[in-house]
Amino acid sequence: MIPLDQVIKGMAETQRALRTSAAIVSPTIMSEQMMRLSQYAGALDEHLAELEKEYEIVVTARIQKYMKEGIKTSPAETKAKTELGEQKGQILYLTRLSSSAWRQVGTIQSRVNHLKTESQTNI
């Protein structure tokens, strides 16, 4: 698995490449960068899956621990989730990056199709 910091860096570099004036009109550049972005987004989703799994396991363990200590279910859940707020914030941040990347891939596909149609009608 690609390290998370490399995934985020690669996504940022790919997005910068897509924001150039050359990329906006070049189906080839868009296609290449779209492939890169989708690979990075997939790698990010793998990291997210692991983080979410770990988070849920730890939250559940803490809730059970607090309940054994006599804390009722709802307060135990609140306490556990509060303690793990930083990890939850990281999950939400990475989820947002992933969603954004997949939306960009869809937009690029539409743009490539538009340019393809445009080129066929201008012949």
The sign of the torsion formed by the CA atoms of 93, 94, 95, 98 equals: positive
The position carrying tokens 């709802």 is: 74
DSSP class per residue in 16-57: HHHTSHHHHH-HHHHHHHHHHHHHHHHHHHHHHHHHHHHHHH
pTM for the whole thing? 0.90
The structure tokens listed for 42 are 């997939």
User: CA-based angle 51:6:13, to the nearest 5?
Assistant: 120
d(CA 20, CA 92): 28
The pLDDT of residue 123: 60
Q: What is the pLDDT along the chain (123 residues), one digit of tens a residue?
A: 899 999 999 999 999 999 999 998 899 999 999 999 999 999 999 999 999 999 999 999 999 999 999 999 999 999 999 999 999 999 999 999 999 999 999 999 999 998 888 888 866
The pLDDT of residue 121: 82
The structure tokens listed for 58 are 């730890």
The pLDDT of residue 118: 85
